[in-house]
Structure 1
């Protein structure tokens, strides 16, 4: 018996572990492990837990239709996984385990412990690359080291892809008679793990839905992506990040679909489609970095010297940011959108992260954790990379003296205030001319239903620059 351990790769198509396990005639089963305590320790958002388990339900039914049973185990923490897996392998007569590699440090330690436990039962473990187009360690400098800077990584990644290409693994075919599948909603231990949580209808699961979104984006928006991607009131992005984070679609499928749509693989900014491909390369870069520098999984900065920055931990200021009560409309709209939908536009992620770290001078770790606790697409590599970039502590971070002005960012990327008025209901009736600096208009109307700016940006900017300059002394 072969066992496929599914994690953040909840799909049939282009799943290397599943494809390799299904090679040959030996019986195949699948496994998903529910670890609610560990999920909470990792700040996994409830909406992401629901999204993931809804996909497990769909995938379990699809696997059952192919004659592949999906086993569910509940272990509270990763530490319990080796023994639980060993017991299951013993009960089911498993001789080989297949899984796609994890890149996070806790997950890697868990997998090493699983390998050791199963080796005692003569169960061989096969770890494959299912999370990247090119696996960590494949894209190297001329001296054979992994990259720490994005632009040369991007060039080397494109060159490596041209040299060796990539394979899209087909979904497995039926391996026997269809099997019954008991929906997760009927399983007591799943209800106990998640309490009263229910899936969000704004985020339908399934590989069909992921491919539908991808195809719509490629047909309608990819050619204009470079011009529209920064405007949150415009449907200019793919909104595929939740599906990539859960592994409902693979990055290889995205690259292949882009190439099929264009008839070529773009190589530079001058070619249509490259800007979106470059975002996929950024995703790869952050994942490779997480493998190269395990301390990124441990709340450590990419730039060690920035650990000495005198960050604030002010709970009241942090709460105002979390709740969208900063008095800066674009920041408040973005945070309220996140809290309601579980998703935030990428431009807005940069704006609110800059505001937290450079205007409020609050430690980026608090923002990183808060995002993970709310985002449906929470992904450690991308989230950590983005936060450290904004805070000035990460790879390819902007120079410390380049600090987003939240007002001018709003004026530039939401010029008519459409996004702001959607989410900051107090400003729904304000004229566009005042929406980014509403306080004088509100005062004239005798209204006090929207907070005053909690900081003066000009003053806060100077303080942020002083913080970083102090590291040079």
Structure 2
């Protein structure tokens, strides 16, 4: 009997470990509920709810193939070896199959499980699935992990041209087993069920993920480069939550992009090329997790930035978290996050730079807050993005490159449509006033909307001084707002 241990791979199609298990013999699937571990990882309630809803969809799909899906509890991952050993003994399992996951805790968990199973003669088979290339196989000429994305991407392109990863066939129907699937819980203690309005934005299941991918590849990918930075436009794929839970695979996304671009990676349709680039950014950050494990431990990628004099400003942090900074593009973006579990990628950079540069608050505060609210929360991508924005990470923005929220707002939401959608209290302002209501005049500005909590010019100068004062930082001339 084969056991497929499902984790962040909640799909039937193009699932390497599932197909490998089914090819070896009668197969049973298991998923471990680990609420204590999820809380330690700051997983959002809407994300946990999304996993559970996708598990229910997957259970139905597996049931049609006579593959039972069992649910077991291992509150913390250190309980996983014991729980899986008991299950293997109970069902007379000969081999356990998993798709590789990355990060310090994930790696230690899998090593502990493999060791425990080996002692009783159960083989532990691990497969490359959520990446195109195994970490450690895309290296510099000196044998180290890349720290610059453009160089990493170049090697990936060369490798993909010679050997494109194929789509794995879905398993076929197996003979019925005398094992029944377990009921998928509707919720887990410690994680509140999100409102129906949020859940409706993210329907569960592979069919929905594939529909989104097909719609994007057919109708939007051509305009991805020109429209992806405008939050009021439907310019992005809206697939990140499905990728994070493994409801769709990066290989499926890559094949769809190439199909829309006559098989080209870096020529032809600029929208498709740009989107493939984003898939490779996702890949890059997961390789960074493995190559530089300190980023899994709440440490800055650039060690010298650990000496930054971050400000302890709880009231300003709270204003940022609660979408009341007095800067409309920041507050609209934060409301989008709080109400939908998702934020437009351009705005993730804008709000992150505002927190870490204008407020000079530690990037880890932002990283944690995002994880606690994102339906697509992913350690590698979230950490990579925050460290990029705060100039503490790999390939990060130069410290003197600080997005100005007002100019970003005027450039990417020129008509104020995004702002007015999320901040209806500003709906009466014209398209010039809406970006900076503090300039409208009157003793108290716009009713029901706060004044800015920080002076952008002064706070920018403060951030530049803090970075220039780092022990090993050479002062860099030039640079400016964007």
Equivalent residue, structure 1, for 2:168: 169
Report the 3-state secondary structure (helix = DSSP H, G, I; strand = E; otherwise coil) of the residue aligned with 1:22.
helix
Shift of the 214–305 alpha-carbon distance from structure 1 to 2, 3 Å rule, reads same
2: CA distance, partners of 1:425 / 1:201: 22
Equivalent residue, structure 2, for 1:453: 452
Q: How does 1:101-112 map to 2 (within 5 A)?
A: 101-112=100-111
Equivalent residue, structure 1, for 2:288: 289
Equivalent residue, structure 2, for 1:245: 244
Q: How does 1:126-165 map to 2 (within 5 A)?
A: 126-165=125-164
- Give the count of matched residue pairs: 469
Q: CA deviation at 1:341?
A: 0.4
Equivalent residue, structure 1, for 2:15: 15
Contact 2:5 2:96 in 1 (8 A): yes
Q: CA deviation at 1:445?
A: 8.7
Equivalent residue, structure 1, for 2:480: none
Q: CA deviation at 1:220?
A: 1.2
Report the 3-state secondary structure (helix = DSSP H, G, I; strand = E; otherwise coil) of the residue aligned with 1:374.
coil
2: CA distance, partners of 1:184 / 1:119: 30
Equivalent residue, structure 2, for 1:95: 94
Contact 2:437 2:445 in 1 (8 A): no
Shift of the 377–230 alpha-carbon distance from structure 1 to 2, 3 Å rule, reads same
Report the 3-state secondary structure (helix = DSSP H, G, I; strand = E; otherwise coil) of the residue aligned with 1:349.
helix
Q: How does 1:258-407 map to 2 (within 5 A)?
A: 258-268=257-267, 271-407=270-406
Contact 1:139 1:160 in 2 (8 A): no
Q: CA deviation at 1:181?
A: 4.5
Equivalent residue, structure 1, for 2:235: 236
Shift of the 270–465 alpha-carbon distance from structure 1 to 2, 3 Å rule, reads farther
Shift of the 211–315 alpha-carbon distance from structure 1 to 2, 3 Å rule, reads same
Contact 1:13 1:169 in 2 (8 A): yes
Report the 3-state secondary structure (helix = DSSP H, G, I; strand = E; otherwise coil) of the residue aligned with 2:372.
helix
1: CA distance, partners of 2:259 / 2:35: 40
Shift of the 40–223 alpha-carbon distance from structure 1 to 2, 3 Å rule, reads same
Contact 1:134 1:161 in 2 (8 A): no
Contact 1:65 1:177 in 2 (8 A): no
Q: CA deviation at 1:197?
A: 5.3
Report the 3-state secondary structure (helix = DSSP H, G, I; strand = E; otherwise coil) of the residue aligned with 1:221.
helix
Q: Deviations over 1:46-89 (max 9, x none)?
A: 00000001001111111111011111111111111111111111
TM-score (norm 2): 0.94
Q: CA deviation at 1:133?
A: 1.6
Q: Deviations over 1:139-189 (max 9, x none)?
A: 122233321110110000010111222111011110123876554247xxx
2: CA distance, partners of 1:231 / 1:329: 15
Equivalent residue, structure 1, for 2:203: 204
Q: CA deviation at 1:424?
A: 1.1
Shift of the 317–205 alpha-carbon distance from structure 1 to 2, 3 Å rule, reads same
Q: Deviations over 1:262-295 (max 9, x none)?
A: 2112225884511111011111000111010111
Equivalent residue, structure 2, for 1:124: 123
C-alpha RMSD over aligned residues: 1.7
2: CA distance, partners of 1:70 / 1:176: 15
Contact 1:32 1:70 in 2 (8 A): yes
Q: CA deviation at 1:107?
A: 1.0
TM-score (norm 1): 0.96
Q: Which runs of 5+ in 2 are unaligned?
A: 475-482
Q: How does 1:179-218 map to 2 (within 5 A)?
A: 181=181, 183-185=183-185, 191-192=188-189, 194=191, 196=193, 200-218=199-217
Equivalent residue, structure 1, for 2:436: 437
Shift of the 180–96 alpha-carbon distance from structure 1 to 2, 3 Å rule, reads closer
1: CA distance, partners of 2:117 / 2:263: 45
Equivalent residue, structure 1, for 2:44: 45
Contact 1:8 1:245 in 2 (8 A): yes
Report the 3-state secondary structure (helix = DSSP H, G, I; strand = E; otherwise coil) of the residue aligned with 1:460.
helix
2: CA distance, partners of 1:317 / 1:356: 9
1: CA distance, partners of 2:423 / 2:310: 29
Report the 3-state secondary structure (helix = DSSP H, G, I; strand = E; otherwise coil) of the residue aligned with 1:220.
helix
1: CA distance, partners of 2:297 / 2:188: 31
1: CA distance, partners of 2:142 / 2:449: 56
Shift of the 370–392 alpha-carbon distance from structure 1 to 2, 3 Å rule, reads same
